């Protein structure tokens, strides 16, 4: 499966009791599809996967795959520190109709590149679905190095990577390291430089802010891919201004809490949650 385009990492709406708000989640899926997105990614960082139990994760995946009904690929995060639990999530994703699964390197305990390779091999050998790697060094504590990505891609272990490293030069190195691998996709997770990343050669983007403004990100992607960089830059700058909602909150809150609450507040006030 070759991934391209805008693939929003969905937020996970919760009800007043802290349970999964499946009705709002279905509305969000329809809103994103109406905005022209090319895929959906559930149970990532924006989806608060690390805070959800197995039953809640299953509810999210069931709701999104049923609502999307095959109109776009659905990627499911299998983020965990335990391979045994990851294997159960793989089976769940397959059973509920997901298109691919997405995994981080194991976190909490620091790993080296050789261990990262073995970790992804173990997941891929057990997975009934294509595997996408997720590079998020600012949260995991270790980066998936470009040479590691290239090795995993050449072995057929991963078919794509979401690169959320804040260093765009590292994304370029990953593009160069994998450019000889047929049908391998590098996607950026950086909301504020989608235009530049597409011009650099990424196949798409996974921007959290696309929960709020999917059509604008689709337009930015399509314009940049067509080489209309001046027009793409105008929209990207508007999105960069909008991204300020991720910095509006109580001083005592962490950035992650403020960012997610910003997305959810906008979605709530516009009637989607």
Six token digits for residue 67: 């609502």
In the set 31, 94, 107, 162, the catalytic residue is 162
Is 134 part of the annotated catalytic residue set? yes
Q: Taking a C-beta distance cutoff of 8 angstroms, is the pair 197, 168 a contact? A: yes
Helix spans in 19-129 (H): 22-34, 54-68, 83-95, 113-126
Run of H or E residues at 135? strand 131-135
CA–CA separation, 154 vs 13, rounded Å? Answer: 38
Q: Terminal CA-to-CA distance of the chain, rounded, Å?
A: 31
Is 217 part of the annotated catalytic residue set? no
In angstroms, the Cα distances linking 256 to 35, 38, 46, 68, 124 are: 25, 26, 9, 27, 30
Q: Taking a C-beta distance cutoff of 8 angstroms, is the pair 126, 87 a contact? A: yes
Run of H or E residues at 225? helix 214-225
In the set 89, 134, 217, 264, the catalytic residue is 134
The residues annotated with a catalytic role in the active site are 134, 162
């Amino acid at each position: 499966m070759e991934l391209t385009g805008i693939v929003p990492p969905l937020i996970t709406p919760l009800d007043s009791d802290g349970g999964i708000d499946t009705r709002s989640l279905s509305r969000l899926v329809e809103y994103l599809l109406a905005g022209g997105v090319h895929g959906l990614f559930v149970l990532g960082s924006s989806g608060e996967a690390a805070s959800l139990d197995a039953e809640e994760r299953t509810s999210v995946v069931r709701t999104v795959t049923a609502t999307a009904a095959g109109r776009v690929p659905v990627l499911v995060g299998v983020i965990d520190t335990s391979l045994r639990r990851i294997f159960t999530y793989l089976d769940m994703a397959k059973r509920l109709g997901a298109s691919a699964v997405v995994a981080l390197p194991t976190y909490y305990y620091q790993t080296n590149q050789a261990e990262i390779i073995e970790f992804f091999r173990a997941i891929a050998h057990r997975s009934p679905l294509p595997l996408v790697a997720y590079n998020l060094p600012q949260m995991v504590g270790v980066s998936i190095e470009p040479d590691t990505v290239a090795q995993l891609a050449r072995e057929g272990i991963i078919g794509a990577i979401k690169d959320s490293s804040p260093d765009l030069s590292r994304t370029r190195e990953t593009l160069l390291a994998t450019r000889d691998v047929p049908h391998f996709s590098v996607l950026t997770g950086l909301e504020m430089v989608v235009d530049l990343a597409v011009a650099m050669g990424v196949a798409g983007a996974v921007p959290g802010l696309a929960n709020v403004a999917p059509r604008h990100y689709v337009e930015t992607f399509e314009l940049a891919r067509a080489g209309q960089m001046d027009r793409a830059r105008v929209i990207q700058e508007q999105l960069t201004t909008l991204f300020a909602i991720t910095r509006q909150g109580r001083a005592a809150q962490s950035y992650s809490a403020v960012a997610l609450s910003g997305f959810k507040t906008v979605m709530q006030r516009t009637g989607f949650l």
